[in-house]
Amino acid sequence: MKPFVEKMPPAIDQKLGVAKKPEEEVLIQVAADMGEGGQFAQHWLVVTSQHVFFLDGQHENGTRQMAMDQVAGARVEALIGGGLFEVKPKEGTPAYLHYSSSMAAKFTEVAEGINRLTRGEDVALPSEVERSRCAKCGRLLPEKNGLCPACVKKWDTLKRLAGYLKPYQARAVVLVLITAAGALIELVPPLVVRSLIDDVLTNIHPEWLGWLALGLLGLRIGASLCQVGRGWTAVWLASQVVANIRRQLYQRLQYMPLRFYDKRRVGALMSRLTNDTSRVEGFLIDGLPFIISNVLMTFGILALLLIMSPRLTLYVLVPVPAIVLGGWLIWERMRKLWSRWSVKWSRFSSHLNESITGIRMVKAFAQEEREAERFDRRNDELREVSVLADRNVFVFFTSMNFLMSFGVFFVWYFGGLQILHQELKLGDLMAFVGYIWMLYGPLKWFADLTNWMTRAFASAERVFEVIDSPTEPADDPQALPMPRLSGAVNFRAVHFGYDRAKPVLKGLDLEVKEGEMIGLVGKSGVGKSTLINLVCRFYDADRGSVEVDGVDIRKIKLEDLRRQIGLVHQQSFLFDDTIVENIRYGKPDASFVDVVRAARAANAHEFIIIKPDGYNTMVGEQGNKLSGGEKQRIAIARAILHDPRILILDEATSSLDTATEKKIQEAITRLTKGRTTFAIAHRLSTLRSADRLVVIDEGKVAEMGTHQELMEREGIFYNLVKTQQETTAVVAVGGSKEETS
Last residue of a domain, one of 71, 92, 118: 118
Q: DSSP 3-state assignment of 518? A: strand
Does any domain span residue 126? no
Predicted local confidence at residue 497, as pLDDT: 84
Residues 171 and 312 in one domain: yes
Residue range of the domain that includes 679: 489-716
Residues 509 and 462 in one domain: no
Same domain membership, residue 442 and residue 336: yes
Amino acid identity of residue 402, one-letter, is F
Q: Which of 536, 513, 500, 564 is nearest to 650 (CA)?
A: 536
Distance between CA atoms of residues 44 and 64, nearest Å: 11
Cα angle for residues 255, 260, 261 (degrees, 5° grid)? 95
Q: Are 301 and 187 in contact (CB under 8 A)?
A: yes
What kind and span of H or E run contains 325? Answer: helix 320-357
The DSSP bridge pattern shows strands 40-48 and 646-650 to be unpaired
**Is 186 found in the same domain as 85?**
no
Q: Is the domain of 515 the same as that of 654?
A: yes
| d(C-alpha 517, C-alpha 499), whole Å | 30
Same domain, 511 and 630: yes
Rounded to whole angstroms, the Cα distance separating 549 from 567 reads: 19
Q: What is the CATH number of the domain that holds 314?
A: 1.20.1560.10
* pLDDT at position 57: 64
Domain membership of residue 731 (yes or no) is no
137 is a domain residue: no
The CATH number of residue 32's host domain is: 2.30.29.30
Same domain, 301 and 227: yes
Domain CATH code at residue 566: 3.40.50.300
Determine the pLDDT at residue 488: 92
Q: Chain centroid to CA 450: how far? A: 26
The answer to whether residue 269 is domain-embedded is: yes
* Distances 361 to 267, 626, 640 between C-alpha atoms, Å: 18, 18, 32
127: in domain: no
Over residues 427-482, the pLDDT tens digits come to 878 888 888 777 776 666 665 566 677 778 878 888 888 888 878 776 667 888 88
Instruction: Answer yes or no: do 550 and 657 share one domain.
Output: yes
Tell me the three state secondary structure of residue 225. helix
The residue among 28, 105, 110, 117 whose CA lies nearest residue 72 is 117
Are 299 and 388 in contact, with CB atoms under 8 Å apart? Answer: no
Identify the pLDDT of residue 347: 80
- Same-domain check for residues 581 and 644: yes
DSSP β-bridge partners for residue 605: none
Between CA 294 and CA 310 the distance in angstroms is 22
Domain count along the chain:
3
Q: What is the DSSP letter of 25?
A: P
Residue 2 lies in a domain: no
Cβ atoms 473, 479 nearer than 8 A: yes
Closest by CA position to 99, among listed 42, 16, 29: 42
Integer Cα distance of 29 and 31 in angstroms: 7
**Are 445 and 301 within one domain?**
yes
Residues 238 and 381 occupy one common structural domain: yes
List of the chain residues with pLDDT < 50? 1, 731-741
- Single out the residue in 99, 118, 137 at which a domain terminates: 118
Residues 494 and 427 in one domain: no
Cα dist from 487 to 20, 597, 627, whole Å: 53, 24, 33
The answer to whether position 541 is within a domain reads yes
**Residue 44, domain member (yes or no):** yes
Q: What is the pTM of this model?
A: 0.67
